[in-house]
Structure 1
């Protein structure tokens, strides 16, 4: 126990020396790091039993180190230290897997007691390697089952399963209507290879419910399959509504899998991934009910408020800009009055589709209410917003609505836009200015107006829409 190694991580030299001297005097081997990034480099070399890390540091925080340690094959115990403690931060640290939590200043005997207890328990676990491996497997499985974010789930599940398999390549994907809609793969598996592999595995995924191990000879000949392909493991991911995804494992490029693959452990991790996948699908469905407009499939006003709060913080942190466009359909009431509300609903759906074609995948569209729409343009300045706004106006003007009816129709739109932080500095201001610019354009209709033009315009009331 006396040869155990403790890594002290603190951005303040005084505390690094204080902890190092105290622990060294009591027979422990101590190494230090002045940042979370340096700690990660040292942890990659292994042979660290305990990490004593400050909770608040520039760059990677103590929580970041804790999260990194949890993903290691043989993770050290992590004890977090802070002078800015609260009940919430302590609970969060322990929930995330911290071994203990110390508040500066603390009695030296308290630190020694925590270290002694940690190492004693690690020593007991090391005496039973099988038990330790089972506990770690269970913890990884629990973490996967509780993951609601699909991107994160795919990334972490691939890492965990391939680690258990002793290495390899892999992919995870979403499948909608038989088509791959979202794909995550390891760095050594190109997207073209992953797509070709999924095409070759279609017949094996249709009715499968468990992990299946195939050889290359069981797949049809196809171009662009991964090089050095010998053994493939496939596992379907299902939601309550059927097959909606898959995980695929391939042998490493330079060799095949070991002959004694830990199939039981792999199945456990994959089953927990499947549970996490089902939970993530349920979570997404529930979130969509809250944030998606039923008619158009666009996001709603509630989601706009949330996005703006998040993006303003990101813009402030990284010095970015973004724009907001407001779109109001001109004389839309006449559609409802002359053609009925079903026709009006169909026209709104058509407009939503036109808007999707006018923006990038990274931009976010909203139905603000009634016949008003909003577009959030990521990292887009005033000039870019003007281009998108004009594209939207022209696209709606040129579109023929109800083309198969006896009386096709044309609709126009007025578009206003504002840019953060050029025009506005708060969420309320940018919404108000984009709306006001659109309202100013209503004076002539079928027009585009920017917030920067408001000072040049007279505040005359617009005609009724």
Structure 2
């Protein structure tokens, strides 16, 4: 493990030697300088974890060191030393971001304790930052995997990938036989530049299995690359064992990608984009196969089966939860009997609209059959499912059906829900439990029931 580097800034040689002697015993890497100018030059080179500096150096405010340190990426911590008990100056330094201060003369143990505390806080801060980055990356990935609109998927995927390489230019396209059917360009890359490049890249797709980086002399000279291109990443998207989409990342003009390239993050995002792309392609196929209920515009039972298969696979792979809600309109037969089947159809359309208002864009709604509906709640546990189920029940209860007619009506619904994998870890089991939970609610109607209640 590399040593922690501490920079000591003090005009007095005796104090610099004192610091070096004490801290070298603790196996710190200690560097000492006698002026603000030398300190700032060393900090600019990087690699400093803590700066221990006098508060006043030859009449120069030592807080200039603090200001310039705080302005850097991954700034070092700053600890002040002073032989003046100037409370106001010290307080201002702490407000400006200094970690702490020491009054000269001080005991070596006091110095060691302050440094240990500072390094521990720095370590925790770094771990927290890394955790936030991983969570952000995971959330971006999950969002990309859930997108079903290909153009939106391309746009957001390029933004996420370029963020990982600290910016650049990007494009995406759908290759067809000897042509390109769709191009999305992003970040200072115009479609007029992207389209000829997409066509020129078609021969390079044969045999392309995974992420590929081309740099310097590896870049083909006959490609119509935008000016200033030094690096190009090709990221293929497969569907049914064929390359059906391609993402292309280019560096900013005359600048390089972040080094080293974060391949692990890029591959994770590519995997999520590929999943979203596969979902989007499948969705288009499903639309062609009429997997949408004609009356309500919601998905139908056949599509529910498909979604559950792929979402169970994704949930098992990434340790996710999801919930399924079943909604049954109470005494719906009375609407058909008293108002006719046209009115019944109108009521079902209004129910579908209420369901759309009750869930998120990432959730998927289905007309299960007749007056029964189903909702797939992505990455939702039992607590979240209970909230959504109650919102659905309440929205239906509070809605005035046939509001524009002379004879409005009120309807209620009974809702049941089950959560994967808590209640069941298989396809049919999760459907049956959500359905049974709804069924036990039908004994009283206009209630929400959980699959957990089946075991009580």
- Using the size of structure 2 for normalisation, the TM-score is 0.42
* Structure with max Cα Rg: 2
